[in-house]
Amino acid sequence: MRIVRAKDYEDMSRKAGDIIAAQVITKPDCVLGLATGSTPIGAYKRLVEGYEAGDLDFSQVKTYNLDEYRGLPGDHDQSYRYFMNTNLFDHVNIDKANTHVPDGLAEDYEAACAAYDEAVAAAGNQDLQLLGIGNNGHIGFNEPGDAFVRGTHCVDLTESTIQANSRLFDSIDDVPRQAFTMGIGTIMAARTILVMANGEVKAQAVHDMIYGPITPACQASILQLHPNVVLVADEAALSLC
| Phi, psi (rounded to 5 degrees) for 229 | -115, 135
Is position 135 annotated as part of the catalytic site?
no
49 in Cβ contact with 58 (< 8 Å): no
User: Strand, coil or helix: what is 205?
Assistant: helix
Half-sphere exposure of 81 (CA within 13 A, CB side): 20
CB of 108 to ligand PGA, least distance (A): 27
Query: Residue count at the site for ligand PGA (CB under 6 A)?
Result: 7
Q: Which is nearer to ligand PGA, 10 or 57 (CB)?
A: 10
Residue number of the CB atom closest to ligand PGA: 37
Determine which helix (DSSP H) or strand (DSSP E) holds 212, and give its type and residue range: none
CB of 173 to ligand PGA, least distance (A): 19
Q: Which is nearer to ligand PGA, 50 or 134 (CB)?
A: 134
Is position 49 annotated as part of the catalytic site?
no
Site string for ligand PGA, 25-54 (x = CB under 6 A): ------------xxx---------------
Q: Which is nearer to ligand PGA, 60 or 169 (CB)?
A: 169
Considering the candidates 67, 103, 208, 234, report the single residue annotated as catalytic.
67
User: What is the CA angle 232-238-241, rounded to 5?
Assistant: 120
Is position 67 annotated as part of the catalytic site?
yes
User: What is the CA angle 129-130-133, rounded to 5?
Assistant: 125
Is position 138 annotated as part of the catalytic site?
yes
Q: Which is nearer to ligand PGA, 38 or 98 (CB)?
A: 38
How many of the other CB atoms lie within 10 Å of CB of 177? Answer: 13
Specify the stretch interacting with ligand PGA by CB under 6 A; choose among 12-20, 102-110, 127-135, 220-228: 127-135
DSSP string for 128-192: EEEE---TTS-BTTB-SSSS---S-EEEEPPHHHHHHHGGGSSSGGGS-SEEEE--HHHHHTSSE
Residues 128-147 that bind ligand PGA (CB under 6 A): 132-134, 138
- As annotated, the active-site residues are 67, 136, 138, 143
Q: What is the contact surface with ligand PGA in residues (CB under 6 A)?
A: 37-39, 132-134, 138
